[in-house]
């Protein structure tokens, strides 16, 4: 938990960020060796320097890893979702063998048992609809209908409880019978709100939820020590803790689907804008709660449906950027550091996102298929950035090609700081030699 | 041709497009002529997409408009319209991958450029591709994939297709796909976008 200073309200935004960075650097881990402690301090220092646009001693290397550790360790993703001992072996091994500058966390793999108990409908996962050795799959549909904007806007929490969750979580179907808890304002209303909970179906749904909760806690109890072993044993700081999304993706991925939201841009733009505005404080809180709980300033934000090709720049500014910017500013105001995964290409958007309304040294932008020289031109001196080593190179290239690519990238854009070395798309499939080539080249060639 | 209808569609005025269609029909216009206007409008939108002036929302909405106009026209048409197609293409997102937005755009562009497209959807196994090629006698196959874990399924599908029908031409595309992956999978060509998909297909049928 982030120990919030008592005078928080009086602190400037920069002081808040510094307070979070310091708390993260002094995480109170029980390091197993003095070397691990030293390495942890060095890594948090390098990363802090980069965020604050100073020149670190070396370029930090923060790969973005998905299910690749399973392949590396010769086990299936399915196994990792059910057998936490193997999960631990796999991620401890991955972190120890590759030694990046931040923890590669096992938490994103997730617990298959919990998903089963809840009877999740909107995802397939390894062995449950997708092959045992792959990442999960989202079944994108219009889980919120076009005519439900007002219900969402009126009370997002109740919309989730009463409408969205029953549609996507099989075991919570009966929750469509529940009434809003905000009804509970007079004694007789307490009883009225409790009545639907007594319905046998609803009772069953709660029983399943209790079992899922227990299974989730069990998983969480297993994940903690696994992460801790790499953090305290190898001196790897945890970067990603909080997660949140752009309001457009919140709606476009989760609720309306691509087709739905794209039609809404024409058919009901005002409702769409209103809903996104409504989701802004919810998105900020989602990011901050994770950052606070894990005591890490970084809030991970994958950007999905605003990439080049998804819409015109004019629409991007109106529908995507305007509310995303408010979320970024909300996180920054609380001292957090948005760590933004700019998926796909953003070659047309660089002028828009390098918005002078966002203070310098408060965001991190990780790119995939965006021209990095342009990124450096537009973002350099304003925000930290990195990424771009491609998935195709790491899978089908040769180690020497990876080494050459990384060197060229460093020559081109690492300049005098503010730069992080990373792959562009989440690492699911690659060769170990290539991943080593990327990380090792960064370590040798990335000294300033 | 109805310029009013073409403008309504290309300017994304959905309600107007519907109304104009009804008015044209009430005025005794030939439904086939109305369809021609729709086709012309789609060509314009296709060009705009190519020039970076139209994007996914416009393509989706245009598709919706054409669908609803066709519905209106249906009851007024005495015979099925037989259009001459350039060639047959089978397309799908490969096994283990469910990204469909880009594939749908490729289908859309191939379709308005005169190809008969069989869209197998997402998460399509090599066997299904082979089956569909046999059934439709298509000479061109498009494989879409957005995940790095789609590389191997692409490779498997290419091998299966070539074994089943040696002269089938296979193009691949999608976010993480590039020339390197084309070599890796053994496909005949990689297409960077839907425009490339159309020109590859045209090249392969000699159009
Ligand atoms: C939208 C999106 C989603 C949506 C998909 C919705 C849908 N209905 O398709 C949702 C949110 C559901 C989703 C889910 C996931 N996604 Co996703 N997603 C994306 C995203 C942001 C955009 C892809 C897209 O649709 N682009 C729009 C199209 C129009 O762009 P385009 O590439 O320019 O399209 C042209 C060309 O590709 C070409 N083309 C395409 N197909 C073909 C075929 C042929 C034959 C030819 C010639 C040309 C061609 O023509 C198109 C039109 O001009 C990408 C990142 C990115 N921006 O690429 C990640 C991305 C593809 N997703 C990724 C991942 C990991 C996932 C998930 C596994 C989990 C996660 N962590 O998000 C899940 C599950 C997906 C699964 N198992 O299938 C990763 C894959 C990384 C990797 N190593 O494989 C990416 C690259 C993000 C990243 N940077 O890491 N995703």
Domain boundaries, chain B: 3-80, 87-205
What is the band of A28 on the pLDDT scale with cuts at 50, 70, 90?
confident
pLDDT above 90 for A343? yes
Q: How far is the CA of A336 from the centre of ligand 1 (A)?
A: 28
| DSSP state string for A18-34 | HHHHHHHHT-----SSH
Cβ neighbours of A310 in B, within 8 Å: 55-56
Percent of chain A with pLDDT over 90: 96
What is the predicted pLDDT for the residue at B80?
66
The count of other CB atoms within 10 Å of the CB of residue A151 is 15
Reported confidence tier of residue A333, pLDDT bands at 50, 70, 90: very high
| pTM, two decimal places | 0.93
CATH fold label, B3-80: 1.10.1240
Minimal CA separation from A391 to chain B, in Å: 6
**How close is the nearest chain A Cα to the Cα of B79, in Å?**
32
Between chains, do B101 and A258 touch, taking CB under 8 Å as contact?
Answer: yes
> What are the structural domain ranges in chain A?
8-445
Q: With contact defined as beta carbons under 8 Å apart, do A385 and A356 qualify?
A: no
B44 touches B73 (CB < 8 A):
no
What is the residue-level pLDDT of chain B in tens, covering all 207 positions?
799 999 999 999 999 999 999 999 999 999 889 989 999 999 999 999 999 999 999 999 999 999 899 889 888 877 666 677 889 999 999 998 889 889 999 998 898 888 999 999 999 999 999 999 999 999 999 999 999 889 999 999 999 999 998 889 999 999 889 999 999 999 999 999 999 999 999 999 986
From residue A135, alpha-carbon distances to A66, A434, A441, B98 in Å are 8, 20, 28, 11
Show the CA angle centred on residue A421, arms to residues A419 and A427, nearest 5°.
140
pLDDT, mean of residues A427-442:
97
Beta-sheet strands, E only, within A120-272: 123-126, 129-130, 137-138, 242-243
Closest CA to A204 of A245, A237, A174, A242: A174
Q: Which pair of tokens denotes residue B104? A: 């749908």
Give me the pLDDT at residue B38, please: 93
Give the HSE-up count for residue A71: Cα atoms under 13 Å, Cβ half-sphere: 18
Q: How confident is the model at residue A130 (pLDDT cuts 50, 70, 90)?
A: confident
CB A430 within 8 A of CB A68: yes
β-bridge pairing A137-138 and A298-303? unpaired
From A3, A39, A38, A37, select the one nearest A19 (Cα to Cα). Answer: A3
Q: Is B178 left (phi over 0), alpha (psi -120 to 50) or beta?
A: beta
H, E, C per residue of chain B: CCHHHHHHHHCCCHHHHHHHHHHHHHCCCCHHHHHHHHHHHHHHHHHHHHCCCCCHHHHHHHHHHHHHHHHHHHCCCCCCCCCCCCEEEEEEEECCCCCCHHHHHHHHHHHHCCEEEEECCCCECHHHHHHHHHHHCCCEEEEECCCHHHHHHHHHHHHHHHHHCCCCEEEEECCCCCHHHHHHHCCCEECCCHHHHHHHHHHHHCC
Task: List beta partners, residue A293.
Answer: none
Neighbours of B39 (CB within 10 A): 16
Residues in Cβ contact with B114 at an 8 Å cutoff, skipping those fewer than 6 apart: B83, B84, B85, B86
Give the pLDDT mean for A259-285: 98
CB atoms within 10 A of CB A245: 22
Question: And the tokens for A371?
Answer: 């021209």
Alpha-carbon distance B36 to B24, whole Å? 13
The pLDDT of A149-175, averaged and rounded, is 97
Tell the CATH superfamily of the B87-205 domain. Answer: Cobalamin-binding domain (3.40.50.280)
Which residue in A291, A290, A342, A336 sits closest to A320, CA to CA? A342
Residue entry with tokens 């790491």: A394
pLDDT tier at A197 (50, 70, 90 boundaries)?
Answer: very high
The pLDDT score that the predictor gives to residue A170 is 97
Higher-scoring residue by pLDDT: A303, B149: A303
For ligand 1, the distance from its centroid to the CA atom of residue B11, given in whole angstroms, is 28
What is the predicted pLDDT for the residue at B74?
Answer: 82
Q: pLDDT band for A116, please (50, 70, 90 cuts).
A: very high
pLDDT of residue B82: 67
A8-445 carries CATH number 3.20.20.70: no
Name which of B45, B64, B148, B153 to mutate to probe chain A: the one with the most chain A Cβ atoms within 10 A of its Cβ.
B148
Q: Which of B184, B158, B43 is nearest to B109 (CA)?
A: B43
List helix spans (H) across A235-268: 247-249, 257-267
Beta-bridge partners for A342: A303, A367
- Note the pLDDT of residue B60: 94
Cβ–Cβ gap B151/A258 under 8 Å: no
Please name the residue whose Cα sits nearest to atom 77 of ligand 1. A137
**pLDDT for residue A304 is more than 70:** yes
Scanning A229-268 for CB atoms below 8 A from B yields 258-259, 262-263, 265-267
Order of strands, edge to edge, in the sheet holding A137-138? A129-130, A123-126, A137-138
B24/A242 Cα distance (integer angstroms): 56
Instruction: Choose the closest CB to A134 out of B60, B64, B149.
Output: B149
A440 CA to centre of ligand 1 in angstroms: 29
- Please indicate whether residue A423 or residue B111 has the higher confidence score (pLDDT): A423
Q: Please report the sign of the dihedral spanned by the C-alpha atoms of residue A325, residue A329, residue A331, residue A335.
A: positive
User: What token pair was written down for A274?
Assistant: 């209103």
The ipTM, to two decimals, is 0.90
Interface contact flag, A344 B57, Cβ < 8 Å: no
Looking at residue A55, the DSSP 8-state letter turns out to be: P
For residues B20 and A303, what is the distance between their CA atoms, to the nearest angstrom?
A: 39
Which pLDDT score, from 0 to 100, does residue B165 have?
85
Has residue A216 got a pLDDT over 80? yes
Mapped onto helix, strand or coil, the DSSP state of residue A417 is: coil
Give the model's pLDDT for residue B1. Answer: 78
Q: Hey, what are A308's tokens?
A: 């080049």
Cβ distance of B12 and A425 shorter than 8 Å: no
Residue bearing the CA closest to ligand 1, atom 85: A425
Q: Label the pairing between strands A419-420 and A384-387.
A: parallel
């Amino acid at each position: 938990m982030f120990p919030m200073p008592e005078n928080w309200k009086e602190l400037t935004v920069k002081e808040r960020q510094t307070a979070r960075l310091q708390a993260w650097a002094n995480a109170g881990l029980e390091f197993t060796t003095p070397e691990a402690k030293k390495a942890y301090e060095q890594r948090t220092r390098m990363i802090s320097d980069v965020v604050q646009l100073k020149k670190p001693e070396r370029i930090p290397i923060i790969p973005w890893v998905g299910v690749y550790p399973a392949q590396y360790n010769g086990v299936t993703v399915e196994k990792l979702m059910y057998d936490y001992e193997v999960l631990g072996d796999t991620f401890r091994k991955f972190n120890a063998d590759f030694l990046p500058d931040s923890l590669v966390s096992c938490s994103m793999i997730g617990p298959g048992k919990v998903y089963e108990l809840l009877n999740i409908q909107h995802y397939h996962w390894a062995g449950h609809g997708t092959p045992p050795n792959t990442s999960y799959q989202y079944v994108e549909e219009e889980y919120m209908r076009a005519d439900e904007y007002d219900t969402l806007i009126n009370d997002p929490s109740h919309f989730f409880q009463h409408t969205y969750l029953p549609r996507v979580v099989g075991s919570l179907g009966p929750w469509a019978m529940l009434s809003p808890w905000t009804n509970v304002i007079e004694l007789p209303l307490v009883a009225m709100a409790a009545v639907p909970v007594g319905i046998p179906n609803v009772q069953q749904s709660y029983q399943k939820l209790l079992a899922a909760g227990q299974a989730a806690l069990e998983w969480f109890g297993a994940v903690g020590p696994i992460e801790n072993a790499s953090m305290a044993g190898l001196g790897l700081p945890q970067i990603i803790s909080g997660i949140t999304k752009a309001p457009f993706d919140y709606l476009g991925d989760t609720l309306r689907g691509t087709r739905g939201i794209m039609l809404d841009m024409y058919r009901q733009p005002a409702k769409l804008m209103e809903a996104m505005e409504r989701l802004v404080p919810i998105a900020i809180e989602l990011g901050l709660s994770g950052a606070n709980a894990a005591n890490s300033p970084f809030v991970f934000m994958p950007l999905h449906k605003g990439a080049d090709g998804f819409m015109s720049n004019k629409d991007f500014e109106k529908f995507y950027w305007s509310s995303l910017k408010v979320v970024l500013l909300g996180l920054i105001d609380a001292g957090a550091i948005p760590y933004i995964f700019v998926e796909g290409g953003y070659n047309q958007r660089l002028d828009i996102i390098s918005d002078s309304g966002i203070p310098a040294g408060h965001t991190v932008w990780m790119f995939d298929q965006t021209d990095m020289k342009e990124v450096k031109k537009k973002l350099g001196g304003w925000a930290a950035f990195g990424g771009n080593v491609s998935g195709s190179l790491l899978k089908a290239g040769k180690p020497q090609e990876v080494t050459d690519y990384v060197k060229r990238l460093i020559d081109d854009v690492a300049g005098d700081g503010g730069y992080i070395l990373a792959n562009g798309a989440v690492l699911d499939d690659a060769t170990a030699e290539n991943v080593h080539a990327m990380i090792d080249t960064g370590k040798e060639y990335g000294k300033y | 041709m109805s310029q009013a209808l073409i403008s309504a569609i290309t300017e994304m005025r959905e309600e107007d497009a519907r109304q104009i269609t009804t008015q044209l029909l009430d005025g005794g216009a030939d439904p086939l002529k109305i369809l021609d206007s729709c086709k012309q409008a789609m060509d314009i939108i296709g060009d705009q997409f190519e020039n970076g002036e139209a994007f996914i929302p416009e393509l989706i909405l245009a598709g919706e408009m054409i669908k609803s106009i066709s519905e209106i026209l249906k009851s007024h048409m005495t015979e099925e319209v037989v259009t001459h197609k350039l060639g047959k293409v089978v397309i799908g997102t490969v096994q283990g991958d469910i990204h469909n937005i880009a594939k749908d755009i490729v289908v859309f562009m191939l379709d308005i450029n005169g190809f008969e497209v069989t869209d197998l959807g997402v998460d399509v196994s090599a066997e299904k591709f082979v089956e569909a090629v046999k059934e439709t006698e298509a000479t061109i196959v498009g494989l879409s994939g957005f995940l790095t874990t789609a590389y191997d399924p692409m490779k498997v599908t290419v091998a299966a297709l070539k074994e089943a029908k040696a002269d089938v031409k296979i193009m691949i595309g999608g976010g993480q796909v590039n020339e390197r992956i084309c070599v890796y999978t053994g496909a005949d060509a990689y297409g960077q976008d839907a425009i490339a998909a159309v020109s590859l297909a045209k090249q392969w049928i000699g159009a």
